[in-house]
Amino acid sequence: MENNEFKKNYNSPHFYFTVILSIVLYGFLVTYSASYYESFIHNLPHDYFFKRQVIFAIIALFFSLMLHFINFKIIKFFTYPLVILSIVLMLLTLFTPFGVTILGARRWLSIGPIPSIQPSEIVKVSTILFISKYYTEEKHNDIIALVVVLLFAGLILLQRDYSTTIVYLITSFSLLLVCGCDFKAVFLLILFLIVPAILFLFSESYRIKRVVSFIFPTIDPNGLNYQINKSIDAISSGGFFGKGIGNGYYKLGILPEVQNDFIFANIGEELGIIGIFVIILLFYLIAHIGYKTSKFNYPNNKYYSYVSFGITTTIVIQAIINMMVVTALLPPTGIPLPFFSQGGTNLFFSIVLTAIVHKIICESNASIELKEREDLSQFDILSDYEEDNFD
């Protein structure tokens, strides 16, 4: 009964693939529409940012296909080396000339002709795989897992990426609790981090301004609150059906960062409530399928369960925070909207992470079919036995 329920509730690998393909293609469409003006003012080809997204998506597809044919035992084997690699990349970003500083934040790593990447995205992947593997081993210690999480959180903070640190900690702590980490330990650690987090939050003037502008939205409508106000105006102007793809007004230099963190506002303006509903529906399906997969695999395959939970959580949390920021429900942060915001590294890892969940769904369904065949075989043997005895 449970197996049938799993297969009926959208847990077909083909359905999940269709959802991911739909959200990627939708992202291409709105990224081009939101970014061509930005390309124009920088004397770049009109499809410059669009092509970059497509290139990163193609590379991600290549890696995803490789992952599909790699046994999870190999992925587990390379998990700890990946953690070490993540630390090395973060240190290279922070303390060597390969690190690139943009707007005061040292978040990017550029080595030779290789496109610049954000090592913090690799950190998210390695942490999910590390926690999932570590808590499926017979001997594991909560302290070690918490130290690894805090180490990475500290390195991300040193990059002056406060918002990514928050997302990272929410995902990591959620996964730790699901894996069975002592609740009291996590709770006490969160209490311990509150004071340093507040001090760090108010250590930069721009963060103070963001908090003030959120608490007092009318204090400076053309200064502190300009971006948020224009974002709300853009969404409101779209109405139910929107102005039509490409016909947005606020992306023409009025709403800053519209192709990046505020692309959701452009979607609301050009595609209206319907366009917003489609985005929410797609992320809901990603969440529903991911968490259903996690639930199904627990406790028979805890590793699959933990990985599915961690990946789904990191994608969904980013999406929720981004949409809440753009609609003035949270203070402004630098969290992109997965699959939509312009940025190759984030798109690459969003696709690769969902490819891992897709692989888990495929193997979960394969295990269901194998069990059904075994049950049927046992039934046939029993039937033959009863028939022979009856004769």
Classified as helix, coil or strand, 387 is helix
Question: Which residues lie across from 105 on neighbouring strands?
Answer: 102
| Structure tokens belonging to residue 1 | 């009964």
Which candidate, 28, 152, 117, places its Cα nearest to that of 349?
117
Q: Which residues have CB under 8 Å from 268's CB, separation 6+?
A: 234, 235, 238, 242, 275, 276
Average pLDDT, the chain: 85
Q: Encode 26-58: b = buried (16+ Cβ within 10 Å), e = exposed.
A: bbbbbbbbbbbbbbeeeeeeeeebbebbbebbe
CB count in 10 Å sphere of residue 209: 17
**Amino acid identity for residue 206 in this structure:** Y
Exposure string over 321-352, b if 16+ CB within 10 A, otherwise e: bbbebbbbebbbbbbbbbbbbbbbbbbbbbbb
* 75-131 pLDDT, tens digit each: 999 999 999 999 999 999 888 888 877 766 778 888 877 777 888 889 999 999 999
Strands (DSSP E) along 43-178, which ranges?
Answer: 99-102, 105-109
d(CA 351, CA 338): 9
Q: Based on DSSP, count helices (H) and strands (E) in the chain, helices before strands.
A: 14, 2
What tens digit of pLDDT does each residue of 295-320 get? 989 888 999 999 999 999 999 999 99
Identify the residue whose tokens are 């570590």.
Answer: 134
Q: Which of 128, 130, 118 is nearest to 92 (CA)?
A: 118
Q: Which of 314, 333, 309 has the alpha carbon at shortest distance from 323?
A: 333
Lowest mean pLDDT among 117-126, 225-234, 356-365: 225-234
Question: How far is residue 293 from each of residues 12, 123, 285, 356, measured CA to CA in Å?
Answer: 10, 23, 12, 12
Task: Kindly tell me if the per-residue pLDDT of 380 is higher than 80.
Answer: no
Give the pLDDT score at 117. 81
The pLDDT value given to residue 254? 86
pLDDT of 138 strictly over 70: yes
What confidence score (pLDDT) does residue 1 get?
Answer: 47
Mean pLDDT of 262-283: 94
Distance from C-alpha of 13 to C-alpha of 226, rounded to nearest angstrom = 43
pLDDT at 371 (0 to 100): 64
CA–CA dist 383, 379 (Å, integer): 6
Check the CA dihedral 121-125-130-132 and report its sign: positive
> How many whole angstroms separate alpha carbon 91 and alpha carbon 51?
30
Determine the average pLDDT of the residues in 133-162. 90
pLDDT given for residue 347 in this prediction: 92
- Burial code (b: 16+ CB inside 10 Å, e: under 16) for 249-271 equals ebbeeebebbbbbbbbbbbbbbb
Q: Which residue has the tokens 């730790």?
A: 176
Q: How far is CA 342 from CA 81, 153, 157, 282, in A?
A: 30, 24, 23, 18
